[in-house]
């Protein structure tokens, strides 16, 4: 069977399985790292802005869920809220307990913390006693590996099986540390740096994780893949109240089938073929961005409604990039979808694993807002 025919058949199967193309509820998830740590501007948010964001959630009557509750609903087929939000924090820095938690307590919102266990107790990080106290308080704690590696990277002369075993051992080491120190093994996982591949996802699934979160922007919807759940970043220049409100307003652009599935770049610029399931958007006004610039082409596939080919006008630079599609809804608002690209030609080089060759994610909020609703 022709490859494109296989894609169409898969999409039809997905749509029949869903029974509809409309989305029942949504959750806009956010990722934080550091609080009031101005020494690290790209991953920091001020406590004043964070407090303003939580106040907005309360004032606007958002349903704030833990990511664990969202996953439970997705797995059981229960509806997501019409206005849902999720708060997640990666890496386990001390500023989460010292700065963020007093604010979280004021509002009683659930929040999830993902910890890379080898760093626990190191300078600037929470220790196990603090993590136990947070867990007893109700903070959901998830697995962020032991060593915070670039999971898609193979070492020099490392075979596929050796790579797989190394990643499994790292995750099992973290699981053992969680069990010893917290008395339970987390069922949720976050990819370090948001990097994953088909092979990485297979490892995560094989170890029994119920879901995994990435770092590309997007909206979680009722039919979302459980192992590539998106989150909007809240750090650096886009960690503002206005940016938060803008991302909360985004709706999901539902893509049941995409090719290639893996984000690892094989040809640069990479081609992306996808199917869009929404029947509530104006696809004739679709925008495509690469790192904040309207610099990729979206071409409808002839004779196949809802199918599009997307390709950047120039070769991607930096280790991590995204094709981000935004489409106006027929009843107002904007729908959002991002496809992650990982370019292994740009090496993963850093000391402990806090930075990479990639630049920061670009905030498209102002770009989207600048498009008048009546055009």
Q: For position 11, what pLDDT does the model report? A: 41
Q: For position 371, what pLDDT does the model report? A: 34
Q: Which residue has the higher pLDDT, 360 or 228?
A: 228
Q: For position 294, what pLDDT does the model report? A: 67
Q: Which residue has the higher pLDDT, 83 or 10?
A: 83
Distance CA 222, CA 254 (A): 10
List domains and CATH numbers for the chain: 23-250 (3.20.20.370), 257-369 (2.60.40.10)
Kindly state the average pLDDT of the residues 201-211. Answer: 98
Write out the E strands in the chain.
26-32, 34-35, 44-45, 63-64, 84-90, 112-115, 140-143, 188-190, 211-213, 220-221, 232-233, 251-252, 257-259, 271-275, 287-290, 296-300, 307-312, 320-328, 334-342
Kindly state the average pLDDT of the residues 208-212. Answer: 98
pLDDT tens, 140-192?
999 999 999 999 999 989 999 999 999 999 999 999 999 999 999 999 999 99
Close Cβ partners of 358 (under 8 Å, ≥ 6 residues apart): 318, 319, 320, 321, 346
Q: For position 293, what pLDDT does the model report? A: 73
pLDDT tens, 128-149?
999 999 999 999 999 999 999 9
Give the confidence band of 348 by pLDDT, cuts at 50, 70, 90. Answer: confident
Kindly state the average pLDDT of the residues 211-227. Answer: 96
Q: For position 346, what pLDDT does the model report? A: 85
pLDDT at residue 370 tops 80: no
Close Cβ partners of 305 (under 8 Å, ≥ 6 residues apart): none
pLDDT tens, 256-303?
989 998 999 999 999 999 999 999 999 999 999 997 776 899 999 999
């Amino acid at each position: 069977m022709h490859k494109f025919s296989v894609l169409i058949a898969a999409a039809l199967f997905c749509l029949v399985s869903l029974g509809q193309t409309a989305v029942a509820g949504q959750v806009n998830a956010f990722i934080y790292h550091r609080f009031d740590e101005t020494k690290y501007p790209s991953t920091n948010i001020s406590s004043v802005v964070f407090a303003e964001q939580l106040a907005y959630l309360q004032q606007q009557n958002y349903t704030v869920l833990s990511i664990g509750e969202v996953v439970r609903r997705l797995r059981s087929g229960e509806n997501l809220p019409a206005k849902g939000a999720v708060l997640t924090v990666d890496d386990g820095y001390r500023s989460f307990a010292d700065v963020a938690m007093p604010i979280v307590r004021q509002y009683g919102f659930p929040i999830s913390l993902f910890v890379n266990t080898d760093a626990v107790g190191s300078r600037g990080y929470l220790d196990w006693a603090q993590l136990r106290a947070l867990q007893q308080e109700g903070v959901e704690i998830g697995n962020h590996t032991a060593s915070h590696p670039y999971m898609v990277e193979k070492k020099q002369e490392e075979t596929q099986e050796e790579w797989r075993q190394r990643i499994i051992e790292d995750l099992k080491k973290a699981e053992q540390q969680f069990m010893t120190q917290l008395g339970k093994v987390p069922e949720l996982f976050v990819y370090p740096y948001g990097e994953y591949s088909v092979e990485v996802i297979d490892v995560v699934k094989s170890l029994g994780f119920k879901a995994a979160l990435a770092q590309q922007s997007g909206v979680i919807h009722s039919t979302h893949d459980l192992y590539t759940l998106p989150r909007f970043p809240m750090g650096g220049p886009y960690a503002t109240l206005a940016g938060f409100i803008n991302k909360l307003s985004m709706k999901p652009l539902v893509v049941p089938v995409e090719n290639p599935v893996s984000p690892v770049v094989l040809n640069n610029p990479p081609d992306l073929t996808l199917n869009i399931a929404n029947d509530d958007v104006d696809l004739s006004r679709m925008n495509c961005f690469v790192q904040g610039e309207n610099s990729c082409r979206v071409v409808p596939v002839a004779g196949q409604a809802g199918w599009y080919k997307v390709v950047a006008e120039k070769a991607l630079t930096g280790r991590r990039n995204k094709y981000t599609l935004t489409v106006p809804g027929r009843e107002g608002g904007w729908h959002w979808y991002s496809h992650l690209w990982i370019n292994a030609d740009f090496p993963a080089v850093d000391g402990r694993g806090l930075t990479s060759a990639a630049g920061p994610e670009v905030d498209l909020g102002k770009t989207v807002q600048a498009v008048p609703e009546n055009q």
